[in-house]
Each structure stands twice: as structure tokens, then as C-alpha cells.
Amino acid sequence: MSIFGIAKRGLGLLGKKKAVTKVPPKISKHEKFMQKDPFERKRILDIRESAKKGDVYKGTSVMDTPSKERSAESIKKFWGPRSYQLTDPARKKRTPKALGALVRGAKSIVKHTPWRKELAGYKRTHRAKQKLLKGRAQRKEAAHQAAVAPKYGPYGKELASQYKHPKSWKRAGKK
């Protein structure tokens, strides 16, 4: 067998045949876009529109749109629950109360410290105790008046009422 015959049989002595690649027809970006699902197209258009407005994103959701009061940087830095501010903290005006605290030497105004929480707990228990004591005093007074009322005689209830509510009796012009 000749060398050319061996090559024809595909033993690879003269190199491999080059594969002919089929070139796919060129599709423009617009055509690709138009072939997409209508919902996906709308989403892409919405993203483009919000980018024109200058919306600030966090992940896949829009955080906010910058305005003259609030820059994109401040939106990125201060965003989320309990972080509403009209302006950047550097331009934000202090309230008179905060200024007074700073003048007195309070370097940082902290609301929820362990000491304050402890005080709040004491206040809560104090209020509960006072409520119980007040209820006891009212029941004791009611029992005392109930015991005293029959001793007034035939006009016991009326006299007890005069004793308990003197202003009402004076307003009504009764004696």
C-alpha cells in the first residue's frame, strides 16, 4: 500500500481533515431583543428607564431615586428601616434639644442603653404596684362606706351619697 492509500484510509499520517464550520447568520441586537419573551422585554425596558432616572439599586430592587435633597451616595450608605433622612448627615440640622445635650457635655446621645432599660423596668414595676395599691385603697373605702351607710338611719343612702359626692349635691342645690 502506498503512503497516499494509508492517508486515505484515515490513519492520520498526513494530518487530519479540517472540519468545516458553519457560520450562523448574524442577528442584530434588536432582533435578538425582539425574539425574547414580552415580559422579559418589559423588564429590560423598565431597567433602562430607571437607569435614565438614576435610580440606586441594592441587589435587584430599586432603593430610591436621588433628588436635590438626597444624593445617591447617601441613599447607598443610609438605607433601610428607621433610616429616613431628608439630607446627608453632614448637612442635617441639629434640633435644639440635641444641641443642648451637646453643650452640656453629652458626646453621644444613646437611647437604648442597659441603664435606661433597667430604669424602664423599675418604672414598669412601680406603676403596677401603684395600680394594685390604689385598687386595694378603693376597695377598702367602698367597704367602709358600705358599712357606715346603714348606720345613718332611714336616709342612709342619701347621706352616704352626700358624704361621697358633696360637689354634686351643692350643684344640684340640695342640702
DSSP 57-109: EETTEEEE---SSS-HHHHHHS-STT---SS-TTTPPPPHHHHHHHHTT-SS-
Q: Model pTM? A: 0.30
- pLDDT, the chain, mean: 76
Cell matching residue 37:
419573551
Q: Indicate whether 101 belongs to any domain.
A: no
Of residues 155 and 72, the one with the higher pLDDT is 72
Mean pLDDT of 5-29: 70
Tens of pLDDT, residues 96-148: 666 565 555 555 556 678 888 888 999 999 999 999 999 999 999 888 877 76
pLDDT score of 129: 95
The answer for residues whose C-beta is within 8 angstroms of residue 43's C-beta and 6 or more apart is: none
Q: Is 157:149 a contact under the CB 8 Å cutoff?
A: yes
85 has a pLDDT exceeding 70? no
R_g (Cα) of the chain, nearest Å: 43
Q: Indicate whether 165 belongs to any domain.
A: yes
93 has a pLDDT exceeding 90? no
Range of the domain at 167: 114-172
Of 39, 40, 77, residue with least CA distance to 56: 77
Last residue of a domain, one of 49, 64, 93: 93
Q: Indicate whether 103 belongs to any domain.
A: no
Q: Indicate whether 84 belongs to any domain.
A: yes
Enumerate helices (H) and strands (E) in the chain, giving the number of each.
8, 2
**Domain match, 42 and 89 both:** yes
175 has a pLDDT exceeding 70? no
Of residues 22 and 83, the one with the higher pLDDT is 22
**Sign of the alpha-carbon dihedral angle for 119, 121, 122, 128:** positive
**Domain match, 75 and 118 both:** no
Q: Is 64:79 a contact under the CB 8 Å cutoff?
A: yes
